[in-house]
Structure 1
């Protein structure tokens, strides 16, 4: 089932997502749960993370009881500002005192992207709950999610939790990504998509017909999928 929440601009999308995220975490913890959450990178994700940090004092969330993961990661040095983990720590995780943060090994911590993927898979097996409470995903103008790109072999990888990417069409070429099988083991998936350059891919992702090979976002399934979009990404004008 897909729900769509449309707001005017990226800032209002970030505010909506941040508020719903904090409410979801507080409610889960009130039920005695310790949620596993997969974060995403990208411009809108950074807006969301910063807004969550700003609103966090207003909500009863114990950040030491949330286990954070990443849907994908660039295989670069640990101190690289390009890493999703580095950005998430700067914008959110360090600010709120998160203690359970599981990062993909960096290029100076693993010999190859394949080794990093294997290590990350092992961490998910040993430290994960077996199911994400929430996965947050961005989407590129080509319809890719995480580092699952159109036409890539990883789109049909059912043997791994995390897989290496060595030929990413956008830099850097080496990455580690969760596979669809891993991403779809989630109670809820939230897409965070803004900008007119995403409108065509959004339309393909929502269409009744189409292929995952052309638009990888179509490969995301699960009991609850919500698209948080601005009017531009939804193909709407400000007057619509």
Structure 2
């Protein structure tokens, strides 16, 4: 069975994110070449690479624009490895372009043929502001490429230190969000749980979850350690209650009659 992908060096892996792919087929130099047809330039490419948000919006929103009807098709047009113009915008670090195009309902979690997402691309190129924009747009930061790597792992492989730090921070926030959601779900669906949850305990947990959610919303600059502390505090409140809930209650037996 052949491996999923050919062995690649760091340089060749980096070339995966370049705008032009090398032709894999060798041509016979002695054979005369056919005249190459001129491929029309995608009209979205220039504004996407230069950050011309207004130009892009004109194409998408002005019915009089000659490319209006094909705007989405042009945006999602893919190259040989499955990258569309959003990838070009990521490579160029055009965060505003990504935000603008996201409004037209594109899938920001779409993967290339090798499983790379926009987040992987921005991480490899060290585009910190683009990473931030994508995370704000709620992309999947846990998505894996064909190497089973998250975007954070790709950033680390290319020594993009700031990107690694940011994605570690984003993953810490996600972990707290997921724990809050898990706990809230368990409390509101106690019939599937191992035991009965007292009303007082239920209110205690729901209040703690609400407080932590509010903390996340109001402390956007909190450090990773501070986020971990908040998660630990919530666990310290929730764990004893769930433990008590799962512990069988001993019913006192009545006195035996002589």
Higher strand proportion, which one? 1
Greater helix share, structure number: 2
Q: Of the two, which has the highest radius of gyration?
A: 2
TM-score normalised to the size of structure 2?
0.27
TM-score calculated relative to the size of structure 1: 0.28
